Amino acid sequence: MNQTQDTAAHYKDSSKLAVRGGFHARFSNISWYDWVENRLNLPNGVRLLDVGCGPGWFWKSCTQLPADMRLSLLDQSAQMVAEAAGRLTHLNIVDQVVTDAMKLPFPDESFDIVTAKHMLYHVADASVVLEEIRRVLVPGGRCIVTTNSPRDLPQIAALSRRAFGSAIDDIVQERFGTVVALDLMRQRFADVTQQTYEDMYQVDDPIPVIDMLSTMPPGDKADAAGLARLEKAVQDMMVAHDGVIPMPRIQDMISGVRRA
């Protein structure tokens, strides 16, 4: 299986994402969804495309959306799009599109805002997808992306390296972490701004850590010996921190405006 097939299999439905979501829900002190919603500033009548919408948990959590927002959902997973649309029946969903984001099946200048949250590190070429986003935005429209900071959850990456020899975060950072994201956004959008979400998890239970690392790459393909190394590494880290591991959770939202 190549990386594209791996990503498609991982996100066939929301079950693996839900394990990560459970970890964050348990230990976060500041709601990421609320934090993002408070910074979207959506105007009335906005035509918004969400690229890589996933199961729609973010939109479901929103409480201040303009009533006349026209929301287009796009994801490469048919089950994700169906799940999102099923969850968001209270919103005006005008498109439900199942396709690879590398080619957006919309005419030029169709949207006021395009979001791509925590997904551009998965695509074959983030530059191509950003060009597509630029094309479908109206002049003056906004592209909003989110991704993990290089300072995000360093203990999770360290545990993955110790147990499995590598960490998915290294690939995330190389493909579309904050540094790369800022560079690619500045190459094609004006008024690029970065806003940083910072939380500090106090992780006092090894089980959610083990569950998360064993359901995301590379732990999702680990053999019994690898999983045993993971359990030991997590237990050792818990003991070294007297039972509570402080983990910085740091994510970035970067937005830019399409020039006229």
**Nearest to ligand SAM by Cβ — which residue?**
54
Q: Where is 183: in which H helix or E strand?
A: helix 178-188
Asked if 76 is part of the footprint of ligand SAM (rule: CB under 6 A), the reply reads: yes
Candidates 52-60, 161-169, 201-209, 234-242: pick the segment binding ligand SAM (CB under 6 A). Answer: 52-60
Asked if 7 is part of the footprint of ligand SAM (rule: CB under 6 A), the reply reads: yes
Asked if 101 is part of the footprint of ligand SAM (rule: CB under 6 A), the reply reads: yes
Candidates 53-61, 136-144, 186-194, 232-240: pick the segment binding ligand SAM (CB under 6 A). Answer: 53-61
Strand partners, 74: 51, 97
Angstrom distance (rounded) from CA 3 to CA 38? 34
Q: Return phi, psi of residue 233, to 5°.
A: -65, -40
Q: Where is 142: in which H helix or E strand?
A: strand 137-148
Q: How many residues bind ligand SAM (CB under 6 A)?
A: 19
Among 11, 59, 164, 201, binds ligand SAM (CB under 6 A): 11
Angstrom distance (rounded) from CA 259 to CA 49? 18
Closest approach of ligand SAM to the CB of residue 58, in Å: 5
Strand partners, 113: 48, 142
Asked if 100 is part of the footprint of ligand SAM (rule: CB under 6 A), the reply reads: yes
In single-letter form, the type of residue at position 207 comes to I
Sort strands 245-257 and 190-203 into parallel, antiparallel or unpaired: antiparallel
Cα 18 from chain centroid? Answer: 13
Angstrom distance (rounded) from CA 223 to CA 225? 5
Asked if 75 is part of the footprint of ligand SAM (rule: CB under 6 A), the reply reads: yes
Residues 173-202 within binding reach of ligand SAM (CB under 6 A): none
Candidates 22-30, 46-54, 130-138, 164-172: pick the segment binding ligand SAM (CB under 6 A). Answer: 46-54
Asked if 157 is part of the footprint of ligand SAM (rule: CB under 6 A), the reply reads: no
- The conformational region for residue 153 under phi > 0 = left, psi -120 to 50 = alpha, else beta, is left
Among 77, 147, 149, 160, binds ligand SAM (CB under 6 A): 77
In single-letter form, the type of residue at position 210 comes to I
Q: Which is nearer to ligand SAM, 81 or 245 (CB)?
A: 81
Q: Which is nearer to ligand SAM, 118 or 175 (CB)?
A: 118
Asked if 153 is part of the footprint of ligand SAM (rule: CB under 6 A), the reply reads: no
Structure-token pair, residue 233: 């590494």
* Cis peptide bond prior to 66, omega within 30° of 0: no
Asked if 54 is part of the footprint of ligand SAM (rule: CB under 6 A), the reply reads: yes
Closest approach of ligand SAM to the CB of residue 74, in Å: 6
Positions in the binding site for ligand SAM (CB under 6 A): 7, 11, 17, 52-54, 57-58, 75-77, 80, 100-101, 117-119, 122-123
